[in-house]
Amino acid sequence: MKITVRSASETDLPGLLSLYSELNPDDAPLPEAHANAIWADISRQHGRTILVADVDGTVAGTTDFLIMPNLTRGGRAILFVENVVVSSSFQRRGIGRRLMEAAVQLGQSANCYKVQLLAADDEYVHTFYEACGFKALAQGFRRYIP
């Protein structure tokens, strides 16, 4: 099995949407035109990168990064990680680890002082991130907007 981590392209959109349906199964599918418009916005966003883990031509995993410029920490940016998902049929094969290694490398190359993410309240997920070198150091807060 050959795993290639690369930047996502527009042709990956169907695979991304399939992965996101595994991540959030209660979400209604996005209409194709709406998904295409969102993809166009993401593609133009400075500091935004969506990576995919390609396994023999199949989008098996993905993660979304945003580099946020910062006026503290000597002007070093922060890399935020969101929407990490590996297809259930490809889990436990090192794909998630490869995606998180790519996150850290991206943060290093952008001179970020930290890589930050929020994780679901799930022991398996926490164990995964800890195995990737992340530490649970802060309490996260969220307020969902209806």
Whether residue 145 lies inside any domain: the answer is no
* Residues spanned by the domain of 57: 3-131
* Residue-level pLDDT at 37: 97
**Could you tell me if residue 142 is inside a domain?**
no
pTM of the model: 0.91
Q: Please report whether residue 146 resides in a domain.
A: no
pLDDT beneath 70: ranges in the chain? none
Cα dist. 19→16, 29, 33, 121, 137 in Å?
A: 5, 12, 18, 20, 28
Q: What's the one-letter identity of residue 16?
A: L
pLDDT for position 141: 85
Q: In the chain, how many domains are there?
A: 1
Convert the pLDDT of each residue in 46-79 to its tens digit. Answer: 999 999 999 999 999 999 999 999 999 999 999 9
Q: Are 60 and 48 a contacting pair, CB within 8 Å?
A: no
Q: What is the CATH number of the domain that holds 15?
A: 3.40.630.30
